[in-house]
Amino acid sequence: MSALLTSAPVLVPAAGTTVGNPAINIGIFALFVVVTLAIVIRASRNNRSAAEYYAGGRAFTGRQNGIAIAGDYLSAASFLGIAGAIAINGYDGFLYSIGFLVAWLVALLLVAELLRNVGKYTMADVLSFRLRQRPVRIAAAISTLVVSFFYLLAQMAGAGGLVALLLGIEGAVGQRIVILVVGLIMIFYVIYGGMKGTTWVQIIKAVLLIIGAALMTVWVLGKFGFNLSTLLGDATTASQSAGGKDLLQPGLQYKNPVDFISLAMALVLGTAGLPHVLMRFYTVPTSREARRSVVWAIWLIGIFYLLTLVLGFGAAELVGADAIKKAPGGVNSAAPLLAFELGGEILLGIISAVAFATILAVVAGLTITASASLSHDIYNTVVKAGKATPEEEVKVARIAALVLGAIAIVGGIFALGQNIAFLVALAFAIAASANLPTILYSLFWKRFNTRGALWSIYGGLVSAITLIIFSPVVSGKAVDPATGKSPSMLQGVDFHWFPLDNPGIISIPLGFLLGYIGTVTSTEYNAAKYAEMEVRSLTGHGAEAATHH
């Protein structure tokens, strides 16, 4: 193990000790929160219309929206979860990064521009364009809420673990209070700032996150003579000498190749079905800007995921797997512990504030998406039969944000201690199973009809959730000797019968198959409406008419 580690005994936190200086950590946190709240309040001055609240008045350029998409996408899972996964499992952990990045090509080539041209505010606008409004909007809203809930769980769990590490909060009660505070700040962002305020928070956070990760990467590489090969070799040697495994060997985490393929399918196909990412395409004025924003997002996200490789192996060498596993935040503590090892209290405070900002921004984006779906798709279309005024819609969206925030806080408390990259992979599996088949069929298959849409959304959703509940993720994994706990969510019980961690390999093809069977067993379909949708999706003609009520 490196000499650096022996000189920093504080890195293996005993009960009640902290990493770094809690006063500095709280100070940097508070500064960030105050600055972003000021921006949100300033941005919220014109949030009167529905277009302002849901889509930021479509006033963002492609570059601004691309940075915000990166901010939305580079969640706590990307920063904390993946760095931890690479530090513990090496090569296998890096597969998360590759999957998340390749996924953007699906979003760029198949979805981004077409979606922007057809819809107004939510995914359901596209799905219900040529189908029966009421049942399809209800199904799309349910799917949006479920995906958002799983994603929210991951972010809130990350917040609890991160702040516990920084403030030395060992007890579960303290971590729960932290999650409550995060939830309350996020609710304020969404209710006051709407999409405009949320977008600016995401832009600031994306810039800070990428700069912070780049700084740490250069610092880590500097310790190894700017030679990546030396870093990988030393990290592997350190891991093996501490009784660990060869980090460059595949198969440390995914001993079953089918499990790996299932995860890869969920990661690659899930992005194009994530409601909070899809909603970002509506904040730009034209389809050309929608394309530009995805190109910007791909560059920024690609660079960031390359940096995670260095951060993960850097943490494995400079901090060590044992210290990471024993920290209050578990695997998710790798990046903050590495920051402390490199730059002491100040760098730790800055990187942790950035991670905290990451959680706040992503949670705000998820909440606004879910609340927009409730107010725009359920309240306006189903309850008010399309007759609600934009003012009424925005009011309902704000109430929904309050309720969803409360649910997220409770869920986050239950999800404490889970690896967040892993929880997010489940959200991706649900998005890929329920949303993606319906979006692709809607955009590209002339015969597609209401029954096909309902079968694919509900079939994908129910199969993914059922398989997750009865998978080893929830119960039945062997106890890890290092932590004395089972990696499963529920301890001491075993009711799993599905052998894989991620349901993607079954539930994604099933979503496509059910959509096909549902469509061909029904004769209903609207050829004129499909022709209109095709022209609009490919040319953007008439898209602006949909944006102004």
Across 458-473, average pLDDT: 90
Q: Predicted confidence band at 336 (pLDDT cuts at 50, 70, 90)?
A: confident
Does the structure show a pLDDT above 90 at 49? Answer: no
Question: What was the pLDDT predicted at 139?
Answer: 92
Question: Would you give the DSSP letter of residue 502?
Answer: -
Sign of CA dihedral 178, 184, 190, 192: negative
* pLDDT number for residue 458: 95
Instruction: Provide the pLDDT confidence category of residue 482 given band limits of 50, 70 and 90.
Output: low
CA distance 191 to 199: 13
Confidence of residue 283 (pLDDT cuts 50, 70, 90): confident
pLDDT higher than 70, residue 276:
yes
pLDDT grade, residue 466 (50/70/90)? very high
Determine the residue type at 88: I
| Between 191 and 402, the higher pLDDT residue | 402
| Rounded average pLDDT over 462-479 | 86
At residue 480, φ and ψ (nearest 5 deg) are: -80, 120
Which one has a higher pLDDT value, 235 or 457? 457
Q: Is the pLDDT of residue 507 over 50?
A: yes
3-state helix, strand, coil in the chain (%, to 5): 75, 0, 20
Residue 143 backbone dihedrals phi, psi, to 5 degrees: -60, -45
The mean pLDDT of the chain is: 81
Say how far apart CA 356 and CA 402 lie, in whole Å. 20
Give the predicted TM-score (pTM) of the model: 0.82
The pLDDT tens digits of the residues spanning 188-228 come to: 877 877 778 888 888 988 998 899 999 999 999 999 899 98
pLDDT in tens, 256-270: 888 889 988 988 898
How would residue 7 be classed by pLDDT, with cut points 50, 70 and 90? Answer: very low
Lowest mean pLDDT among 43-52, 66-75, 221-230: 43-52
Tell me the residue type at 79. Answer: F
State the angle between helix axes of 436-444 and 504-520 in degrees (0 to 180), rounded to the nearest 10.
Answer: 40
> Does residue 549 carry a pLDDT above 50?
no
Mean pLDDT of 503-507: 92
Residue 506 has pLDDT above 90, yes or no: yes
Q: Which of these, 4, 150, 10, 143, lies nearest to 77 by C-alpha position?
A: 150
Q: Could you give the CA distance from residue 79 to residue 63 in angstroms, rounded to a whole number?
A: 22
pLDDT(1) > 70: no
Contact 427, 267 (CB under 8 A): no
So what's the pLDDT on residue 6?
26
